[in-house]
């Protein structure tokens, strides 16, 4: 199995080893099958194989059962005999138990190190999708991003965006002259959508320290690839957030990684579980973009594997790009099932030994119809493959083990505490404070003038009651030159990174001319 990841045994008596070629692992793949047919275990053994080959992987763990990768399987496990028998049957002589170098991540920061990105890095297109904005609302969001750049108001977290929207509302008339109609209704709608996102836990996703991609692409001291596991059980409750986040991650990888063509082995392999969530109700424009990212990210050495119950969940253009396939059993109860089954079977190179359609119907649990890319990227003839048993623990680790693992992780402390740098929210708040101070100062000056002028000025500025002198003095001091200098400094620092980032991002760079 040189240059290949061992997947299982195919052919007569399952005696012929089936492998996934590392050279073509960046040509993407599909793991499909009805519930309980073995998708998660297949994902687990693929992650193990890549890690052993020195390839880091990123996978989302929808049911929590993939956390077992962090622990070695055990001889006292109830399936130990079944596993060893299976290994013997497929000639997997080197089979044994071992743990893998796992890093746990969690958007909510509970079950893993927090994963954050900034609003600016997410970009207007993905954010609009995340917030399910209409075209008019998306227009306003685009204006917000423009203004953030032009006015030096960095958008890091959600409160920055909120503050900027308020500011846009206040300056609506001037802005409408420049950008066309900026309606309060649209601003209000975006603000309400932001509240929904906050309630879904979006607040934690946006902010700093933002995830550094290099932290997902590490190998350990033994040269084994890091297995990054994203806790996705809670995230499933907010499918939009889940899909958008993973899409963002892909686009970041695309942006940041250098072109490598077809490397000996991938730089990173990305498993997208419950992939149908990405495509359900997705607008055509977004699907086109996923298709585009999938096509382009290949040359960056990133392999993307979609895991889903039914291959029909994946749009045809994208399905066509998934070269390495592991198809577990599909049901054939209804007419629609049978149609899907036929369609799934049609996409494979027939094996004279059996009918693909029948095989997909018949394969047992932990068995699959497989087709991997061969030399020159040609799809191999379909095989009935008994998938190898896992070396790491089957099923989840305990909450206690996870905690201990997190504490011992070399990522501990790097992302755990949020960092709230000065950005749009703070700057706008300070501007408002300064404006108030200036008004107060002007008033104070007026008080030194002739009583008549004073009355006149005060009357003009305020129709109602006036701010008392003591308050205005205090305000004036705090809004003085120091704060202004500080703002300038911070801006200088921020405009180097965030400003630039606003205009890039697939969803701003590659996806700019939508
Ligand atoms: N390759 C394998 N080797 C040994 N046992 C396996 C293998 N694949 C699956 N099994 C057995 O089948 C069970 C179900 O598999 P798995 O959890 O992977 O199904 P699934 O398709 O992910 O299901 P779901 O859709 O419910 O998530 C496993 O717990 C294990 O006992
Ligand atoms: Mg599963």
The preferred substitution site among 32, 40, 63, 95 for testing ligand 1, maximizing ligand atoms within 8 Å of CB, is: 40
CA distance 307 to 477: 60
CA distance 190 to 158: 12
Answer yes or no: are the C-beta atoms of 329 and 293 closer than 8 Å.
no
Q: How many angstroms is it from 36 CA to the middle of ligand 2?
A: 7
Query: Which residue in 390, 378, 384, 348 sits closest to 364, CA to CA?
Result: 384
pLDDT value of position 500: 37
Torsions phi, psi of 59, nearest 5? -140, 150
Closest C-alpha to ligand 1, atom 6 = 366
Is the CB of residue 68 below 6 angstroms from any atom belonging to ligand 1? no
Which residue stretches of 325-468 are H helix?
335-346, 356-362, 399-408, 424-448, 451-461
Q: How many angstroms is it from 93 CA to the middle of ligand 1?
A: 22
CA distance 434 to 487: 12
Q: How many angstroms is it from 286 CA to the middle of ligand 2?
A: 26
pTM score, two decimals?
A: 0.84
Closest C-alpha to ligand 1, atom 31 = 79
Alpha carbon 473 to its chain centroid, in Å, reads 49
How many Cβ atoms are within 10 Å of 386's Cβ, its own excluded?
24
How many Cβ atoms are within 10 Å of 287's Cβ, its own excluded?
17
Beta bridge partner(s), residue 106:
114
Q: How many angstroms is it from 279 CA to the middle of ligand 1?
A: 24
Which residues have C-beta within 8 Å of that of residue 148, sequence separation ≥ 6?
Answer: 120, 154, 155, 164, 424, 502
Which residues have C-beta within 8 Å of that of residue 58, sequence separation ≥ 6?
Answer: 216, 228, 230, 249, 268, 269, 270, 271
Q: How many angstroms is it from 416 CA to the middle of ligand 1?
A: 33
CA distance 143 to 178: 10
Which residues have C-beta within 8 Å of that of residue 118, sequence separation ≥ 6?
Answer: 154, 155, 156, 157, 206, 207, 208, 210, 498, 501
Closest C-alpha to ligand 1, atom 4 = 389
Answer yes or no: are the C-beta atoms of 441 and 477 closer than 8 Å.
no
Answer yes or no: are the C-beta atoms of 506 and 248 closer than 8 Å.
no
Is the CB of residue 101 below 6 angstroms from any atom belonging to ligand 1? no
Alpha carbon 461 to its chain centroid, in Å, reads 51
Considering every ligand atom, which ligand is closest to the CA of 73?
1
pLDDT tens per residue across all 514 residues of the chain: 789 999 999 999 999 999 999 999 999 999 999 999 999 999 999 999 999 999 999 999 988 899 999 999 999 999 999 999 999 999 999 999 999 999 999 998 999 999 999 999 999 988 998 899 999 999 999 999 999 999 999 999 999 999 999 999 999 999 999 998 899 999 999 999 999 999 888 888 999 999 999 999 999 999 999 999 999 888 888 888 888 888 889 989 998 999 998 899 999 999 988 888 888 877 787 788 888 889 999 999 999 999 999 999 999 989 999 999 999 999 999 999 999 999 999 989 999 999 999 999 999 999 999 999 998 889 999 999 999 999 999 999 999 999 999 999 999 889 988 888 888 999 999 988 888 888 888 877 766 655 655 555 555 554 444 444 443 333 333 334 444 444 444 444 444 444 334 333 333 444 433 3
pLDDT value of position 460: 53
Work out which ligand 1 atom sits closest to the CA atom of 63: 27
Report the first-to-last Cα separation within the chain, whole angstroms.
Answer: 44
CA distance 479 to 481: 7
The preferred substitution site among 9, 31, 41, 394 for testing ligand 1, maximizing ligand atoms within 8 Å of CB, is: 41
Reported as type and span, the H/E element at residue 8 is strand 4-10
The preferred substitution site among 5, 273, 363, 365 for testing ligand 1, maximizing ligand atoms within 8 Å of CB, is: 365
pLDDT value of position 289: 81
Work out which ligand 1 atom sits closest to the CA atom of 33: 21
Query: Which residue in 28, 3, 40 sits closest to 396, CA to CA?
Result: 40
Query: Which residue in 45, 211, 213, 239 sits closest to 112, CA to CA?
Result: 211
Work out which ligand 1 atom sits closest to the CA atom of 309: 25
How many Cβ atoms are within 10 Å of 191's Cβ, its own excluded?
14
Instruction: Kindly list the strands in the beta sheet with 29-32, ordered across the sheet, starting from the edge strand earlier in the chain.
Output: 16-21, 4-10, 383-387, 367-371, 324-327, 29-32, 302-308, 268-272, 57-61, 227-231, 102-106, 113-114
Query: In a 10 Å sphere around its CB, with 0-12 CB exposed, 13-18 middle and 19+ buried, how is residue 10 labelled?
Result: buried
Q: How many angstroms is it from 43 CA to the middle of ligand 1?
A: 10
Closest C-alpha to ligand 1, atom 15 = 38
pLDDT value of position 446: 66
The CA-based diameter of the chain, rounded to the nearest angstrom, is 106
How many Cβ atoms are within 10 Å of 171's Cβ, its own excluded?
13
The residue to which tokens 């623990």 are assigned: 393
Answer yes or no: are the C-beta atoms of 348 and 356 closer than 8 Å.
yes
Considering every ligand atom, which ligand is closest to the CA of 36?
1
Torsions phi, psi of 489, nearest 5? -60, -50
Q: How many angstroms is it from 61 CA to the middle of ligand 2?
A: 9
CA distance 145 to 164: 9
Antiparallel, parallel or unpaired: β 367-371 and 324-327? antiparallel
The preferred substitution site among 9, 31, 32, 36 for testing ligand 1, maximizing ligand atoms within 8 Å of CB, is: 36
Work out which ligand 1 atom sits closest to the CA atom of 394: 29
How many Cβ atoms are within 10 Å of 224's Cβ, its own excluded?
20
pLDDT value of position 176: 93
Q: How many angstroms is it from 42 CA to the middle of ligand 1?
A: 8
Antiparallel, parallel or unpaired: β 383-387 and 4-10? antiparallel
Q: Extract the tokens encoding 359.
A: 């095989």
Is the CB of residue 78 below 6 angstroms from any atom belonging to ligand 1? no
Is the CB of residue 366 below 6 angstroms from any atom belonging to ligand 1? yes
Is the CB of residue 33 below 6 angstroms from any atom belonging to ligand 1? yes
Q: Extract the tokens encoding 173.
A: 């008339």
The residue to which tokens 């000065």 are assigned: 422
Query: In a 10 Å sphere around its CB, with 0-12 CB exposed, 13-18 middle and 19+ buried, how is residue 124 labelled?
Result: buried
CA distance 153 to 172: 17
Q: How many angstroms is it from 366 CA to the middle of ligand 1?
A: 6
Is the CB of residue 39 below 6 angstroms from any atom belonging to ligand 1? yes
Considering every ligand atom, which ligand is closest to the CA of 388?
1
Q: How many angstroms is it from 62 CA to the middle of ligand 2?
A: 8
Closest C-alpha to ligand 1, atom 7 = 366
Is the CB of residue 308 below 6 angstroms from any atom belonging to ligand 1? no
pLDDT value of position 453: 56
Answer yes or no: are the C-beta atoms of 34 and 328 closer than 8 Å.
yes
Q: How many angstroms is it from 207 CA to the middle of ligand 1?
A: 37
CA distance 279 to 243: 9
Instruction: Please report how many Cα atoms fall inside a 13 Å half-sphere around the Cα of residue 178, on the Cβ side.
Output: 11
Work out which ligand 1 atom sits closest to the CA atom of 82: 4
Is the CB of residue 35 below 6 angstroms from any atom belonging to ligand 1? yes
Which residues have C-beta within 8 Å of that of residue 390, sequence separation ≥ 6?
Answer: 41, 44, 45, 48, 68, 73, 83
pLDDT value of position 285: 76
């Amino acid at each position: 199995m040189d240059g290949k990841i061992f997947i299982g045994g195919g052919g007569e008596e399952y005696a012929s080893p089936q492998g996934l070629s590392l050279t073509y692992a960046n040509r993407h793949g599909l793991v499909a099958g009805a519930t309980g047919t073995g998708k998660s275990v297949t994902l687990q053994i693929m992650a193990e194989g890549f890690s052993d080959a020195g390839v880091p992987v990123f996978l989302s763990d929808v049911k929590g059962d993939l956390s077992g990768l962090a622990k070695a399987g055990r001889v006292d496990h109830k399936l130990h005999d079944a596993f060893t028998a299976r290994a013997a049957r497929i000639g997997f002589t080197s089979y044994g138990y071992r743990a893998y170098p796992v890093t746990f991540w969690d958007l909510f920061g509970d079950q893993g190190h927090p994963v954050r990105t900034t609003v600016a890095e997410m970009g207007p297109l993905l954010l609009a999708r995340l917030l399910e904005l209409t075209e008019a609302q998306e227009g306003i969001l685009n204006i917000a991003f423009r203004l953030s750049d032009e006015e030096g108001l960095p958008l890091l977290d959600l409160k920055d965006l909120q503050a900027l929207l308020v500011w846009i509302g206040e300056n609506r008339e001037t802005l409408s002259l420049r950008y066309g109609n900026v309606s309060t209704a649209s601003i209000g709608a975006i603000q309400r959508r932001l509240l929904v996102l906050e309630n879904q836990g979006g607040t934690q996703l946006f902010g700093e320290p933002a995830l550094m991609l290099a932290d997902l692409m590490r190998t350990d001291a033994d040269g084994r690839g890091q297995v990054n596991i994203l806790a996705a059980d809670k995230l499933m409750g907010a499918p939009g957030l889940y899909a958008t986040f993973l899409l963002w991650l892909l686009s970041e990888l695309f942006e940041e990684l250098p072109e490598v063509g077809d490397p000996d082995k991938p730089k990173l392999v990305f498993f997208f579980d419950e992939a149908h969530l990405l495509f359900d109700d997705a607008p055509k424009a977004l699907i086109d973009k996923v298709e585009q990212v999938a096509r382009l990210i290949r040359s960056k050495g990133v392999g993307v594997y979609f895991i889903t119950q039914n291959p029909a969940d994946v749009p045809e253009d994208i399905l066509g790009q998934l070269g390495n396939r592991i198809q577990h059993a599909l049901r054939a109860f209804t007419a629609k099932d049978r149609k899907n089954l036929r369609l799934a079977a049609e996409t494979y190179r027939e094996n004279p030994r059996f009918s693909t359609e029948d095989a997909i119907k018949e394969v047992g649990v932990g068995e699959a119809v497989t087709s991997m890319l061969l030399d020159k990227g040609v799809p191999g003839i379909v095989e009935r493959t008994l998938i190898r048993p896992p070396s790491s623990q089957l099923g989840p680790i305990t909450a206690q083990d996870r905690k201990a693992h997190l504490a011992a992780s070399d990522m501990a402390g790097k992302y755990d505490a949020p960092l709230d740098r000065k950005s749009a929210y703070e700057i706008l708040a300070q501007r408002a404070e300064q404006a108030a101070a200036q008004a107060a100062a002007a008033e104070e000056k007026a008080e030194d003038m002739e009583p008549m002028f004073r009355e006149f000025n005060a009357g003009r500025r305020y129709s109602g009651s006036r701010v008392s002198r003591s308050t205005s003095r205090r305000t004036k001091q705090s809004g003085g030159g120091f704060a202004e200098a500080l703002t300038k400094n911070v801006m200088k620092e921020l405009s180097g990174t965030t400003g630039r980032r606003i205009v890039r991002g697939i969803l701003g760079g590659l996806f700019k001319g939508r």
